[in-house]
Amino acid sequence: MEKLMITGGRPLQGTVSISGAKNSAIALIPAAILAESEVILDNLPLLSDVAVYSEILEELGATVTWEGSQMKIDPSSIKSIPMPNGPVKKLRASYYMMGAMLGRFKEAIIGLPGGCNFEPRPIDQHIKGFEALGATATNEHGAIHLHAKELRGTKIYLDVSSVGATINIMLAAARAKGATIIENAAKEPEIIDVATLLNSMGAIIKGAGTETIRIEGVSELHGCRHSIIPDRIQAGTYMIAAAATRGNVLIDNVIPKHMEALIAKMQEMGIGIEEYDESIRVLGAPSYEHVDVKALIYPGFATDLQSPMTSLLTQAQGVSVLSDFVYSNRFKHVPELVRMGAKIRVEGRSAIIEGGQLNAAKVKAADLRAGAALVIAGLTVSEGVTEVTGVEYIDRGYDHLVSNLRLLGADVWRQTE
Ligand code: EPU
C-alpha cells in the first residue's frame, strides 16, 4: 500500500505548470471512437484514469499510442464488443462509452461505472437522452444494454444540468439523423472542449457553453488533432495549497476565466491574486477572513474544489460556511480533517468550519478531492508527519502531484508499506 508522507509548514514558492483537464480527457478519448481515422490528443494529463481509458479502447480494437502528453487513437478497426465487466468497472466516466458506442454502432453493452462514489450518482438523465434519440435501454445484471435501429435527433430537456449527460448526449447525437437540441445543458468548460473536438472531427455543434446546445447529426466523422484545455480543478487545488501555506506561487498554463469563482472567494479572504493571460499568481498573507462559499454548477464555485477549500477555510479566522448544491453529501474529507484537529461540523449540505491550527495525523483519502483536501491540510502542519493513505484516488486526478509539490519546496514523499 502506498501513502503520502507530508512534513508541512513550508510556504510553497515557485511556478507550477498545469496539465490538461482530466474531466475533458476522459470524454475526449471515447469521443475519438466516433471518427473513422486517427485522432491526436495533445496536452493529455498523465493519470491512471487516462491509462484505463486507453485499455478500454484497445479492448475494442483501436490502436492507441501514448507518448508523454500526446495520445494517438486510430479507431479505424474498432468493433462493437460488449463490455459488461473489465476496465469499464474501474472508471466512473466509462459511461461515455455508452454515448460513443451508441453513436458509432447504434448499440452498446457497458458495465455500470465505478470511480469516486462519494454519494450515489445516478445516470438517469443520460439514459433519458439516449431513449429520446430512439434507443432502448435496459439494465441487465449491472450492465446497461443500449440498442437503436437508428438514432433520430430530437429536443431533450435535462432535469438537472448534468455534465456527463450533456456530453453523452452530444456523443450519441453527433452521428444521429437530424438535429438534437439539449435544453438546460451543463455549461462547464469541458463541454466546450468536447464540442470543439467533435466539430474538428466534422460534427456540427453550436451553443456549447450555453444552456442550449444544438447538434446537427452527420453520417461520418474524421480524424483530427486537438489540444486539451488546462485542468481548472488541478489549478484551483494548487492555488488553494499556495494560499493555505501562505506561499507565493505562479500557476501557469491556466485559463484565468475558468477560475473566476475561486479567485473571487480567495480575494474576499484577503489572499493576493495577480491574473495574467495564461497564469495566475497567488500571494499568501499572514491571516485570512472567513467567507461563505456555495458550490454550484459552472460558472459557480466548483464542487470539485469544495473539499480543498474546506482545508483552506480551516486557516481563516472565524467561522465559514461551505455549502454544496451539486452533491448533497460530499463531505468524506471532514471526519479526516477533524482527526487532524479541525473544528468542522456538517449540517445538511453545509460544512461549518471554525478556523484553527491543524495537527499531523494518519488520515485516509476516501475519494479524489477528499485526498487533495488532506494533502493541503498536511502542508499547513509544521510539526510531525501527516500520512495520507488512499493515494490511488489522488492519482486519478493529479498529474505529478508529488514532484510538483516538491518543486514548490514542499517536503512530501511517497512511501510503500
Ligand atoms: N445527476 C442526476 N442524474 C444524472 C446525472 C447527474 O441526478 O443522470 C445529478 C448528480 O447526482 C449530481 C448532479 O446531477 O447531483 C451533477 O452531476 P453531473 O452529472 O454533472 O456529474 P458527473 O458528470 O457525473 C462530472 C465530473 C465530476 C464533477 C461533476 C460536477 C467527470 C468525469 N466528472 O461528474 O468530477 O464533480 O461533473 O461538476 O467529468 C471529480 O473530478 O472529482 C469529479 C467527481
Q: Where in the sequence of the chain do the CATH 3.65.10.10 domains occur?
A: 2-19+230-416, 22-227
Catalytic residues: 116
Task: Please give the Cα distance from 112 to 384 (Å, whole number).
Answer: 42
What is the atom index within ligand 1 of the atom nearest the CA of 186? Answer: 20
The pLDDT score that the predictor gives to residue 119 is: 67
306: which residues sit within 8 A by CB, 6+ positions away?
A: 293, 295, 322, 324, 330, 369
Residues with CB under 6 A from ligand 1: 23, 26, 92-93, 116, 121-126, 160, 162-165, 186, 233, 303-304, 326-327, 368-369, 397
Q: Cis peptide leading into 84, omega within 30 of 0?
A: no
- Whole-angstrom CA distances from 286 to 11, 247, 265, 282 are 11, 10, 17, 13
| Protein residue with its CA nearest to atom 16 in ligand 1 | 162
**CA 21: distance to chain centroid?**
7
| Each residue's pLDDT tens digit, 264-294 | 999 999 999 999 999 999 999 999 999 999 9
Task: Share the mean pLDDT of the chain.
Answer: 96
The pLDDT score that the predictor gives to residue 90 is: 86
Q: 113 pLDDT exceeds 90? A: no
The neighbour count for residue 343, using CB atoms within 10 Å, is: 13
Choosing from 118, 139, 163, 194 the residue with most ligand 1 atoms within 8 A of its CB, the one to mutate for a pocket test is: 163
127: alpha, beta or left? (left if phi > 0; alpha if psi -120 to 50): alpha
- Residue 383 burial (10 A CB sphere; 0-12, 13-18, 19+): exposed
The third-level CATH classification (topology) of the domain covering 22-227 is UDP-n-acetylglucosamine1-carboxyvinyl-transferase; Chain (3.65.10)
- Residue 119 Cα, ligand 1 centroid: separation in angstroms? 11
| Protein residue with its CA nearest to atom 25 in ligand 1 | 163
193: which residues sit within 8 A by CB, 6+ positions away?
A: 21, 24, 27, 28, 228, 229
| Each residue's pLDDT tens digit, 288-317 | 999 999 999 999 999 999 999 999 999 999
Choosing from 231, 326, 368, 393 the residue with most ligand 1 atoms within 8 A of its CB, the one to mutate for a pocket test is: 326
**Taking the CA of residue 69 as centre, how many other CA atoms within 13 Å lie in the half-sphere pointing to its CB?**
16
Q: 91 pLDDT exceeds 90? A: no
For residue 116, name the pLDDT band (cuts at 50, 70, 90). low
| Protein residue with its CA nearest to atom 22 in ligand 1 | 164
**CA 90: distance to chain centroid?**
15
| Protein residue with its CA nearest to atom 26 in ligand 1 | 23
Residue type at 288? Answer: Y
Task: Please give the Cα distance from 96 to 83 (Å, whole number).
Answer: 13
* Superfamily of chain region 2-19+230-416: Enolpyruvate transferase domain (3.65.10.10)
- Residue 303 Cα, ligand 1 centroid: separation in angstroms? 9
| Each residue's pLDDT tens digit, 1-22 | 899 999 999 999 999 999 999 9
What is the atom index within ligand 1 of the atom nearest the CA of 233? Answer: 41
Contact between 109 and 141 (Cβ < 8 Å) = no
| Protein residue with its CA nearest to atom 39 in ligand 1 | 23
- Residue 56 Cα, ligand 1 centroid: separation in angstroms? 21
- Residue 199 Cα, ligand 1 centroid: separation in angstroms? 24
| Each residue's pLDDT tens digit, 155-177 | 999 999 999 999 999 999 999 99
Task: Please give the Cα distance from 189 to 298 (Å, whole number).
Answer: 8
Return the residue matching grid coordinates 472542449: 193
Task: Please give the Cα distance from 341 to 97 (Å, whole number).
Answer: 43
- Whole-angstrom CA distances from 170 to 7, 182, 183, 200, 305 are 45, 8, 12, 14, 26
Contact between 279 and 254 (Cβ < 8 Å) = yes
What is the atom index within ligand 1 of the atom nearest the CA of 188? Answer: 38
| Each residue's pLDDT tens digit, 341-384 | 999 999 999 999 999 999 999 999 999 999 999 999 999 999 99
Q: 132 pLDDT exceeds 60? A: yes
Task: For the chain, give the percent of residues with pLDDT over 70.
Answer: 98
| Protein residue with its CA nearest to atom 37 in ligand 1 | 163
- Residue 368 Cα, ligand 1 centroid: separation in angstroms? 14
- Residue 164 Cα, ligand 1 centroid: separation in angstroms? 6
DSSP state of 398: -
For residue 35, name the pLDDT band (cuts at 50, 70, 90). very high
